[in-house]
Amino acid sequence: MVTYLKYCENSSTIIVAASDSPRLDAADFVCSGTDDQADINSIIADLPAAGGRLYFLDGTYSIDSYTLDASTGHYYGIYVTYNDTTHCQIELEGETWPWWTNAVSDVELSGGARFVTSNDAWTGLDAETTAAIGANGYELGVLAEGTTYPGVWLGFKNIGVVLPDQKANHSGIDMSMVASCGLEKVNVYIDKAVSDLVTPPDGAIGIISPLATMYPPIVMDNCQVQNGFAVGFVCLMDQMQLLGCGAGHCATPFVFGGGYSSVAINCIQSCCIYGPQFISANMWDILGYVIEFYSAPTIQYPQSTFVQDSFAYESTPGEGGGKISYMAYDMYADSWGAPFWESGHGANFETRGMSAKNAGDTASRPTYPYITQMYYNSQSSKFESWDGSTWITLN
């Protein structure tokens, strides 16, 4: 559970409904179903200096055009701006958690509060850098003793972000220019059948973390990125916590960087081309990491684009260090024991993998499991992890 730290007081809550929300009478503001991002951006801009909370009722919120941020040259749909001391904290929260309908040939996000980018929003922006939700709320400088850092703390909960297609430099959520953030139950995906996906284009990223933080830690809890991104999660900051996050049908599931006191627990990648990438990643402790992959196409899974090509790698081999506890399952060969690292990488990480003895029916679970120990339950066809008191399902 993400705890939204209250750095500011006197913030306000505004209830927003989509045009197809079932409870329009409960809202302070009802979107029209066309260019909803304009109304949402106006609400954000009108929040008091302390910031505030937008509570989105279940429904579909249309993003039909993007706004240029002149300072970065990037275009955003829903856009959180920063000016001097305004907008200390912004929270965007949905009514319920959007979730997946899963199939080998298709993955679709349904229910909850979904922010859907239309093809019209991308008109003329093929060569530009964009994000469905973005912010420019980051400011570093030498401040007088006793003063607080300015900037935006951005929180998301129960939010779904949908992009219409795969395009280079088009992303879901870009928080690179905020002071800090917290995400809980946030799902980002490209609205295409798996069979129609092509090799992910460069710069297409699901979720981008802040590049620096003044309000640690940065927390992502139960967030998922699916369907055709070049990178699922970009995590380039110290003091990050990823809990139960996952990426599927991406080229690279996670890019980890920095890493002082950072940890990923019970995270998963499924049907990705590569393993996670590490950039100057010291002390990235990754516990309970699951790799599901195909080493070759099958009749049930003919999508050769996302056959795994390589495993985890470092941008500079031998530069990082930390602890890795993982299991890897080749669904084509129905076998365990695949490596975590590419040859020559991860030399300074303490890496522990599981074997087939950590798989079986419910009755065969380990008698004395250690925290984050992983187990493949053949009865439910699910991966599980021990949290200290019970076995929790990972996928």
Average pLDDT of 81-94?
A: 72
CB 67 within 8 A of CB 75: yes
* Mean pLDDT of the 106-115 span: 86
Give the model's confidence band at 5: pLDDT under 50 very low, under 70 low, under 90 confident, else very high.
very low
Given this model, what pLDDT does residue 358 score?
73
User: Is-contact 220 187, C-beta < 8 A?
Assistant: no
Per the model's pLDDT, the better-predicted residue between 84 and 94 turns out to be 94
What integer is the mean pLDDT of 237-247? Answer: 90
Per the CB < 8 A criterion, the answer to whether 14 and 28 are in contact is: yes
Structure-token pair, residue 166: 């795969």
Residues 355-373: tens digit of each pLDDT: 555 778 898 888 777 666 7
Confidence check: pLDDT of 113 > 50: yes
Residue whose C-alpha is closest to residue 276's, from 218, 320, 337, 332: 320
Whole-number Å distance between alpha carbons of 102 and 25? 33
pTM comes to: 0.86
**pLDDT reported for residue 220:** 94
Residue 326 CB burial class (10 angstroms; 0-12, 13-18, ≥19):
buried
Residue with token string 């996928």: 395
Q: What is the pLDDT of residues 268-307, one digit of tens each?
A: 999 999 999 999 878 889 988 999 899 888 777 777 889 9
Q: Which pLDDT score, from 0 to 100, does residue 376 have?
A: 81
At 362 the three-state DSSP class reads: helix
Tokens 């500011």 -> residue? 8
> What pLDDT score does 213 carry?
66
Specify the higher pLDDT residue, 3 or 188: 188
Amino acid at 34: T
* Two tokens, residue 248: 């599927």
pLDDT of residue 83: 56
Q: For residue 38, give the H/E element and its range.
A: helix 36-45
> What is the CATH number assigned to the segment(s) 12-358?
2.160.20
Looking at residue 103, its pLDDT comes to: 55
DSSP notation for 225-241 = EESS-SEEEEE-SSSEE
Q: What is the CA radius of gyration of the chain?
A: 21
The whole-number pLDDT of residue 105 equals 55
